Amino acid sequence: MRQHTRVTFRPANRMQVLLRNTEDSLGLIADISAGGFRLMSELPILVGQVYAVSIEVPISAARFRLVEASVICQWSRKTGRSGRFEQGFALSEPAQAYTDLVDSLKATLVLSRSQKV
């Protein structure tokens, strides 16, 4: 059972995850929680490895802010549908900016659900 509530993204709204030191893309976040995120990517990622990442958070049509975190890959598997890979990442150390991001996404989700008629 999951410990944290997750926010799930539609493909068009997924946030990009970059390696902090090279700015190479690791993939796109499929869902996120206070404990970590699930990443969709073209290539598998090494399980057990710690990564310093930046998450591109859209703030307008063509602008992003970066949220930095250190994460560890917990698992990796190939998806049957698309041949892509999905990986589970957990925070390897606390990051206030990451926590603030998840809290704001949860608040937005609750607000959007409460406004549906």
Which region among 15-19, 79-83, 101-105 has the lowest average model confidence (pLDDT)?
79-83
The closest of 40, 48, 53 to 11, measured between CA atoms, is 40
**Greatest mean pLDDT range, 60-64, 82-86, 105-109:** 82-86
The closest of 6, 29, 7, 9 to 18, measured between CA atoms, is 29
Q: What is the pLDDT of residue 116?
A: 40
Query: Where are the extended beta strands (E) located within 1-117?
Result: 7-8, 16-19, 25-33, 36-41, 50-60, 63-78, 85-91
Confidence of residue 107 (pLDDT cuts 50, 70, 90): confident
The closest of 12, 14, 34 to 26, measured between CA atoms, is 14
Q: What is the pLDDT of residue 117?
A: 35
- Tokens 């917990």, located at residue: 74
Q: Is the pLDDT of residue 9 over 60?
A: no
| Domain annotation for the chain: domains and CATH numbers | 7-114 (2.40.10.220)
Q: Is the pLDDT of residue 90 over 70?
A: yes
Which region among 10-14, 41-45, 68-72, 107-111 has the lowest average model confidence (pLDDT)?
10-14
Q: What is the pLDDT of residue 5?
A: 62
